[in-house]
Amino acid sequence: MDLIVLVFLSSGLFLGWSLGSNDAANIFGTAVGSRMVTFTTAAVICAVFVVLGAVFGGAGAAHGLGKLGAVNAIAGSFMVALSAAVTVYGMTKLGLPVSTTQAVVGAIIGWNLFGGFLTDMETLSKIVATWVVCPVLGAVFAAILYKSAVAGLGWARIHMVRLDALTRIALVLAGAFGAYSLGANNIGNVMGVFVSSSPFDDLDVGGLFTLTSIQQLFLLGGLAIAVGVFYSKPVMMTVGNSIMPVSPVGAWVVVMSQSMVLFIFSSNELQSFVVGLGLPAYPLIPVSSSQAVIGAVIGIGLTQGFAGVRQIKWRVLANIGSGWVSTPLIAAAISFFFLFFLQNVFQQQVFKEVHYRLSDAVVEHLVGEGIVTDDLQSLAGQDIVSAAAFRSALREHAGLSKSDELVAIDSAEIYLAAVTPENLTSLDRDYLGPERSKAVEALAGRSFDYRWQFREALTTLSATWKAKEESPLTRDYNQKLGEMYEYLLRHFYREDQ
């Protein structure tokens, strides 16, 4: 691997360290603050399980964040991660448990603005919605668990000494679950921006198993988070003591509540189960452990009535809330400035230009999608750089609806792909399956100018490449199919545009 690649990845490692020293503190903050678990014990358990969660459970949330903006140059990924890390590090120095998710979202939006890329507003709205849902869910789970735990302990009448020992064990187990959930959910923050430009190849480990390119990224990020955990004591004490004093049982409730919130937004299996029940699908995206744990602490306070509410230190809570509001704005501004500096001073390519062209093939495709193209003739054949500029041209020359506009932008994006014998040799046939692989092999020697051309060619060759009619039961299938398409497009990409 080139040295420059390692340099660029270093910002992701710094972000992982920052996350470990800030967000990972939430896993054991109340346990350490209540003196039920020592900081060293908490840090070791958290470090081990956060790495396991990152490597084996991190795919779902990372894909969700990637929809906000696919950073397409490793130098840009470096600066996005660095901007988020600097923001989180500054907040950590102030002892404030901020949201790493908010910092990364702000940094990605800064990159989108700098490169002229469109921010996926649907994905952004889902992410912003979780900033409200997370603390609310944390509070609801905490209130239910706390009431249940108090009632259960009152019925069991366990001796104080035995209760103390059982509570410590429960805190350790809950912390391990919480650390795994944190790694699975928040590795998307640390390494998600590098997924589109990953420098790794799949690695066969002694013929026993294969570490994919993405898993290797997640392993590095998980190790960085683990190192950061050992520097998290100041924030642990803020979470554990500053908002509201909690009992040992309350400490367990807080850890379990925030762990459940993180697990919900990172588990592909749980999402599929929920959809299978006919319930609405929810997004798999990185969410804030800080918001979840603070919501859990407040939830415990609310269960205790007026006396509990009085114990909540609202001024500290207001300071934390102001950090949540300012974090994405600060990260976006830092990202924009740093990208300008890296591009113009160090002459690094922080984004790859994306071209848009309304060719005859695109116009015909849009007609097939039911879009009226009469007003688009003035744009025919023009080569327009950046999605923002192409959208402006569409709005100037055609009165398309917002949905039709998005279809036109997606259809006109030039993405060159060539199915060569060399690339077919390294195709992951185990991942695609035999029938899908056979269809891909039938494309040997063909090249494509647009993503949709590649998809149409495959669906013509095999029904296994066709998406199923959208419904709660087929959502998981269609999502997996979309991920396979993205894998192939990256695999056969050529840069001669």
**Mind giving me the DSSP string for 400-425?**
--HHHHHHHHHHHBEEEEE--HHHHH
Give the relative orientation of helices 59-66 and 213-229 as an angle to the nearest 10 degrees.
100
Number of domains in the chain: 2
Asked whether residue 125 is domain-assigned, the answer is: yes
Residue 341 is predicted with a pLDDT of 93
Asked whether residue 265 is domain-assigned, the answer is: yes
Residue 65 is predicted with a pLDDT of 63
The pLDDT confidence band at residue 497, using thresholds 50, 70 and 90, is very low
Domain identity same for 284 and 258: yes
**In terms of pLDDT, which residue wins out, 203 or 354?**
354
Q: Is the pLDDT assigned to residue 472 strictly greater than 80?
A: no
Domain identity same for 246 and 113: yes
| Of the listed ranges 163-172, 197-206, 338-347, 381-390, the one predicted with least confidence | 197-206
d(C-alpha 185, C-alpha 264), whole Å: 9
Mean pLDDT within 483-488: 84
Asked whether residue 63 is domain-assigned, the answer is: yes
Asked whether residue 496 is domain-assigned, the answer is: no
In the chain, pLDDT over 70 holds for what percent of residues?
Answer: 88
Asked whether residue 12 is domain-assigned, the answer is: yes
Domain identity same for 288 and 365: no
Examine the fold and report which residue of 324, 345, 366 is the final residue of a domain before the chain moves on. 345
Mean pLDDT for the chain?
83
Residue 25 is predicted with a pLDDT of 67
Domain identity same for 60 and 208: yes
Domain identity same for 340 and 361: no
Residue 108 is predicted with a pLDDT of 92
By the 10 Å C-beta count (0-12 exposed, 13-18 middle, 19+ buried), 440 is classed as buried
Domain identity same for 211 and 276: yes
Asked whether residue 497 is domain-assigned, the answer is: no
The pLDDT confidence band at residue 144, using thresholds 50, 70 and 90, is very high
Domain identity same for 7 and 54: yes
Asked whether residue 19 is domain-assigned, the answer is: yes
Domain identity same for 361 and 329: no
| Residue among 19, 244, 18 nearest 139 (CA) | 244
Examine the fold and report which residue of 345, 375, 404 is the final residue of a domain before the chain moves on. 345
Q: Is the pLDDT assigned to residue 241 strictly greater than 60?
A: no
Asked whether residue 341 is domain-assigned, the answer is: yes
By residue range, what is the domain housing residue 451? Answer: 355-491
Mean pLDDT within 215-234: 85
- For residue range 289-326, list pLDDT tens digits in order: 878 888 888 898 888 876 666 777 677 677 777 777 88
Domain identity same for 329 and 416: no
Residue 466 is predicted with a pLDDT of 95
Domain identity same for 56 and 17: yes
Domain identity same for 301 and 430: no
Examine the fold and report which residue of 317, 345, 373 is the final residue of a domain before the chain moves on. 345
Q: Is the pLDDT assigned to residue 429 strictly greater than 50?
A: yes
Residue 336 is predicted with a pLDDT of 96
d(C-alpha 479, C-alpha 477), whole Å: 5
d(C-alpha 475, C-alpha 276), whole Å: 10
Range with top average pLDDT, 161-175, 277-291, 410-424: 410-424
Domain identity same for 238 and 371: no
The pLDDT confidence band at residue 49, using thresholds 50, 70 and 90, is very high
